[in-house]
Every structure is written in C-alpha cells, then in structure tokens.
C-alpha cells in the first residue's frame, strides 16, 4: 500500500529534465528514510526514482544542403524501493522507456522496454553467516509492436515483435552473498525462465525459440546477476548489470547474456553527459545478418541469394549530452 511518503515522492518525480542533444538527461530523485537508533529490528527503507522526457525536432524547407525533417521523443521512468528489517529484506524495481522517431513520413521505434523486478532475502545466521537465501522474480517485455524495415521504414505487414511477444519471466532461487560497497551478486542454481509469445503469427513462425504453433517455452537452468557501481574519478561514475542464464536441458554451454552499462560524466549540477550501452546474446533469437539480394552475371542470368539468418550479438549505444535537474 502506498504510504504518504511515497505519494509525496511521486509528486516530486513529475519534474522533467531536458537534453540538448540525443537522449536528454532526466531528473534524479533520490530519498532515503533512515532510522536514527541502532536497533537491528528497526525498519530501513530507501526509495529512488527517475522520470524524464526527451524531445527533439528538425524542420527543413528548401534546404540546399539536404537533409530530412524529423521529430523524436523518449519517455523514461525508473523507480526502485528497498526495505530491510532484521535478517529480512526486500526490494522491487520498475524500469520503462519508449522512444519514437518520425522521419520520411513514418514512425519508428528507437527504444522500448518494460521491466519489473522483485527480490526477497533472508539471512542465514547459522549456516552461512555472510550469505542470504534469496528469491528473485524478473518480468520484461515491450510496449509497442516492432516491424521489419523495408527501404528504411517499418513495414506494418511484417510484425517481428509486440507486447508480450516476446515476454520473459525469470524466477530464481539461490544465494546472495553480503553486498560489498560497490558490488552485489546473486547466484541461483534453481531457475525457471518462461518465454511467452501471445502473437499468433509469431507463434506460428516459431520465433524467439518457441516451438512453432506454441505460445510459451519453459527452460530450467542456472542464473547469475552481478551489479557494479563505481566512481572512476571525481564526477565520473560507472554502473552496470549483467545477467547470465544457462539452460541445463538444452545446450547449457550457450549462455544467454543480458548486459547494460552506464557511464555518467557530471559537469556541474545542471549539465551532464551519459553513455549507455546494452548488449544481448540469446542463441534462441534468430537475426537477419545479411539481407536477401539478387545478382546478375555476364550472361544476364539472375540469381537470388537468400538472407543469412542465425543467432548473433545485439548491441545498442546512446550518447547523451544535456541539462538535468536534481531534487
């Protein structure tokens, strides 16, 4: 149940930051409610939040230098809360982003994610003094459908993803060693990973590793999550999270990798630069590495060369320079 404190924080989150170029910096809302005495049974709560909107627009009329008019926006929301009382603790996080670009008369996505994470821990005071039994649940999908690009524009007849298509649900049970100052890790030898495909067309095609005609795929394996936050030098910080999953029952050596990193350079209280990176490798996701093409030889014979398909590494990088407001 949302208490008065969280309600007031939600009002504070409505303040937006604006980037001057690329993805705008967003306001950082960070509050911690701490007890003043040293009673180990006191409740310690922390709440952090980020909310932002990025807008950019270019209009060209009879521009001799060439170029195209465009309009783009990115909306961001990141919330996190943790609660600790005695040997037990819990935390949850919500991360969402949606970016759209309108160019050449059509809209295309530049960012789209929806992630909800919860974790519950209890200390093992007798067996492993510095470790905690931990259960983690991670659910993620996207908001809007994605389409294959034809001549640089999304083709609405070639949908390649949608809300809950795919959707991923990870439920893991394991150990969380005592967190260090800048690092924390979670080992889960017992993990279930569910891939969901609600879209009938994608299901029929057997996309994202789901058997053709099926709407879900269950995998059992092991899971590791590692979070790191470090100050490289004054006003320069680096944070990252890496998730590794191995399916015990099918090619356990093909480890699924999901890695995010953020380098933040703070110029002053209002100006900052960020470089965000996201890398994904999933052996079950088929990518078009080379598009189909046709070749004509000297005799005029036309040969069609099919597209090269297969698993591969997905990578995204965003450089942002702009203004932010911190509350």
β-partners of residue 17 are none
Is 67 part of a structural domain of the chain?
A: yes
Is 192 part of a structural domain of the chain?
A: yes
Residue 185 has a pLDDT of: 92
Residue 325 has a pLDDT of: 47
Taking only the tens place, the pLDDT of each residue in 148-180 is 877 777 888 889 999 999 999 999 999 988 777
The count of structural domains within the chain is 1
Residue 8 has a pLDDT of: 39
Is 327 part of a structural domain of the chain?
A: no
Is 129 part of a structural domain of the chain?
A: yes
Residue 322 has a pLDDT of: 57
Is 299 part of a structural domain of the chain?
A: no
Q: What is the pLDDT along the chain (327 residues), one digit of tens a residue?
A: 444 444 434 434 333 333 333 333 344 444 434 344 455 567 788 888 777 777 778 888 878 887 888 888 888 788 889 898 878 889 999 989 888 888 877 788 888 999 999 999 888 765 566 778 999 999 999 999 998 877 777 888 889 999 999 999 999 999 988 777 788 899 999 999 999 999 999 999 889 989 999 999 999 999 999 999 899 998 898 989 999 999 999 889 999 999 998 888 887 766 777 788 889 999 888 887 777 777 887 787 778 888 778 888 999 887 766 555 444
Q: What is the largest CA-CA distance in the chain?
A: 88
Residue 316 has a pLDDT of: 86
Q: Give the structural domain span for 50.
A: 17-250
Is 265 part of a structural domain of the chain?
A: no
Global confidence as pTM: 0.76
Is 305 part of a structural domain of the chain?
A: no
Residue 138 has a pLDDT of: 95
Residue 269 has a pLDDT of: 67
Is 266 part of a structural domain of the chain?
A: no
Residue 198 has a pLDDT of: 94
């Amino acid at each position: 149940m949302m208490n008065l404190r969280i309600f007031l924080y939600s009002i504070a989150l409505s303040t937006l930051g604006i980037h001057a170029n690329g993805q705008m910096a967003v306001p950082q809302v960070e509050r911690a409610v701490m007890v003043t005495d040293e009673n180990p049974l006191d409740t310690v709560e922390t709440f952090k939040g980020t909310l932002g909107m990025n807008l950019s627009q270019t209009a060209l009329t009879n521009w001799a230098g060439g170029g195209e008019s465009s309009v783009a926006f990115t909306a961001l929301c990141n919330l996190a809360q943790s609660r600790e009382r005695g040997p037990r603790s819990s935390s949850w996080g919500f991360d969402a982003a949606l970016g759209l670009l309108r160019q050449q008369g059509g809209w295309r996505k530049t960012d789209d994610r929806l992630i909800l994470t919860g974790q519950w821990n209890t200390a093992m005071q007798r067996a492993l003094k510095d470790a905690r039994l931990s259960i983690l649940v991670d659910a993620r999908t996207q908001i809007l459908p994605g389409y294959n690009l034809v001549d640089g524009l999304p083709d609405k007849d070639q949908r390649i993803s949608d809300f809950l298509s795919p959707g991923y649900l990870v439920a893991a049970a394991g150990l969380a060693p005592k967190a260090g100052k800048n690092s924390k890790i979670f080992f889960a030898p017992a993990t279930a990973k569910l891939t969901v495909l609600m879209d009938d067309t994608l299901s029929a095609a057997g996309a994202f590793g789901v058997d053709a005609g099926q709407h879900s795929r269950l995998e059992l394996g092991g899971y590791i999550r590692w979070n790191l936050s470090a100050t490289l030098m004054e006003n320069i910080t680096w944070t990252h999270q890496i998730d590794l999953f191995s399916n015990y029952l099918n090619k356990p050596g093909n480890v699924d990798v999901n890695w995010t990193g953020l380098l933040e350079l703070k110029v002053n209280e209002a100006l900052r630069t960020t470089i965000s990176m996201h890398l994904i490798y999933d052996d079950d996701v088929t990518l078009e590495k080379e598009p189909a093409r046709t070749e004509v030889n000297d005799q005029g014979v036309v040969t069609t060369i099919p597209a090269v398909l297969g698993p591969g590494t997905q990578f995204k990088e965003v450089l942002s320079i702009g203004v932010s407001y911190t509350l």
